[in-house]
Amino acid sequence: MGIKVCDQTLRTFLDARDLAYLEEAAAGAHKLLVGKNGAGSDFLGWLSYPETYDRAEYARVQEAARRIRETSDVLIVIGIGGSYLGALSAIELLRGRFHNLKADGLQVFFAGNNLSASYLNELLALCEGREVSVNVISKSGTTTEPAIAFRIFKQYLEQRYGRAEAAQRIYVTTDREKGTLKALADAEGYETFVVPDDIGGRYSVLTSVGMLPIAAAGCDTGAILSGAGDAMRELAAPGLANPAYHYAALRNALYRKGKTTEILVGYEPDLVSFQEWWKQLFGESEGKDGKGIFPASVCFSTDLHSMGQYIQQGLRNLFETVLFFRQPKQEYIIPCDDANADGLSFLDRMPVSRVNHRAFEAALLAHTDGGVPNIVLEAERIDAYTYGYLVYFFEKACAASGYMLGVNPFNQPGVEDYKVNMFALLGKPGYAENRTQLESRLWR
């Protein structure tokens, strides 16, 4: 099954030199990944993770998820960046965007991914009258946004349940031994799960980082790991026959031709958070050293009525990658209406998925004609297995693509700059030195 890279409509955009580049780029990236001698090679744990993961830890995750579902109505997942986007993307893709309104499951909300007081107030209000557990996730254990949210929810749980029961309702996912969060968890007796040393945040969804909230939400984590495992085996070969390298090489060939923005296109609202996960994966991995494809996303057909205009006729620095599923997750048949007052009888009894498919074909051809190259990534269906497969596919493509671009796809040095400024402006001990100078540059 797997992922098929369709490049038929792309061919007019690529010449013989580009085709030679594709081969060369795929070979170079494979060599660095397999030889484990590229930049950031200390962070390649995700490559073999579907095979090498710690079975005992995974069993504890399942047990904790069962306990959370048994004792709670609401799970608050606290984390930012790679510490929450994977879980959010899986839960929305598999349980649907309305998952929290469904009667059959635990409600899962996310916190610590922003600094909004109203978001926090509304979330706390939602917890009233419901049984609550918290999973706080931070590899470093020191990130400000989740640390603030955790302080608030820890106090909330302690006030509601008392310290001892609160400790039973708090689950911590962090480094094996380092960091403030690990020290706090040990002191308070919280159950802890490990973010492996050799896996960075945005490559961590298959570890306990993603697995605990995803399992608690009632999704099939076994099928996710099985999909990722098959992807690991099927995407191991060198060359362009490997879809991960093919996709990575195509996007770099387009980038070299001035197509500096890639838009990941989906035709399902349930895919929107997966597109956010993809944006973080590629944006943080590639955007550095003055280089990188800017990752954007759209949900069609919704955004055909907004961003569609720009894509069709705006600046020609774009290409699209369409994530297309051959089978719809669900079906709905358009009803007949003999009166035909709406003029829609040509669609009588047509499945909605067929209309969606025609919208995909129409936009693909229109955008290609408008000068926007389209790569199509085809998968069979939306389910837990395919989610795991896609995660591994994109992680491997992203690592390879970073190497093709000549950057370290596993670090994020640029994220530090705003933090240093924010700590200085907030007066954090050890950072306050240039506070006056920073403040003099701000308006009042």
Which residues are identified as catalytic?
Answer: 284, 305, 419
Distances (CA, A) of 423 to 111, 136, 205, 434: 21, 22, 29, 10
Q: How far is the CB of 204 from ligand PA5 (least distance, A)?
A: 7
What's the CA gap between 159 and 157, in Å, rounded? 5
Name which of 354 and 419 has its Cβ closer to ligand PA5: 419
Shortest distance, position 205 Cβ to ligand PA5, whole Å: 10
Nearer of residues 179 and 243 to ligand PA5, judged by Cβ: 179
Q: Report in angstroms how near the CB of residue 196 gets to ligand PA5 at its nearest.
A: 12
Nearest approach in angstroms of CB 241 to ligand PA5 is 30
Total Cβ atoms within 10 A of residue 406: 11
The residue (of 228 and 372) whose beta carbon lies closer to ligand PA5 is: 228
- Minimum separation from the CB atom of position 29 to ligand PA5 (A): 20
Q: How far is the CB of 145 from ligand PA5 (least distance, A)?
A: 8
Indicate if the alpha-carbon torsion angle 232, 238, 243, 249 is positive or negative: positive
Q: Is 419 helix (H, G, I), strand (E, B) or coil?
A: helix
Which residue is nearest to ligand PA5, using beta carbons? 201
In the complex with ligand PA5, the residue whose CB is nearer, 86 or 243, is 86
Minimal distance in Å, beta carbon 209 to ligand PA5?
8
Task: Give the binding site for ligand PA5 (CB under 6 A).
Answer: 80-83, 138-140, 143, 146, 200-202, 284, 412
Helix spans in 132-242 (H): 144-161, 163-169, 180-188, 208-216, 221-234
**Closer CB to ligand PA5, 200 or 402, in the complex:** 200
How many C-beta neighbours within 10 Å does residue 182 have? 19
The candidate with the shortest Cα–Cα distance to 135, out of 84, 87, 173, is: 173
| Min CB(340)–ligand PA5 separation in Å | 53
d(CA 151, CA 146): 8
* Torsion angles phi and psi, residue 23, rounded to 5: -60, -50
Q: Partners of 193 in the beta sheet?
A: 173
Q: Measure the N-to-C terminal CA separation of the chain; round to a whole number of Å.
A: 58
> Tokens 């055909």 correspond to what residue?
304
- Quote the DSSP letter at residue 141: S
- 400 vs 236: CA distance, rounded Å: 12
Contact 199, 163 (CB under 8 A): no
| Residue (81 or 266) nearer to ligand PA5, CB | 81
CA distance 202 to 278: 9
Distance from C-alpha of 52 to C-alpha of 321, rounded to nearest angstrom: 31
Q: Map residue 102 onto helix, strand or coil.
A: coil
Nearest to ligand PA5 of 146, 388 (CB atom): 146
Tell me how far apart the alpha carbons of residues 255 and 277 are, in angstroms, rounded to a whole number: 21
Q: Which is nearer to ligand PA5, 145 or 262 (CB)?
A: 145
Q: Residue 264 corresponds to which amino acid?
A: L
d(CA 151, CA 426): 17
Q: Give me the count of residues in the chain.
A: 444
Q: What are the CB-based long-range contacts (under 8 Å, 24+) for 313-316? A: 313/370, 316/258, 316/371, 316/372
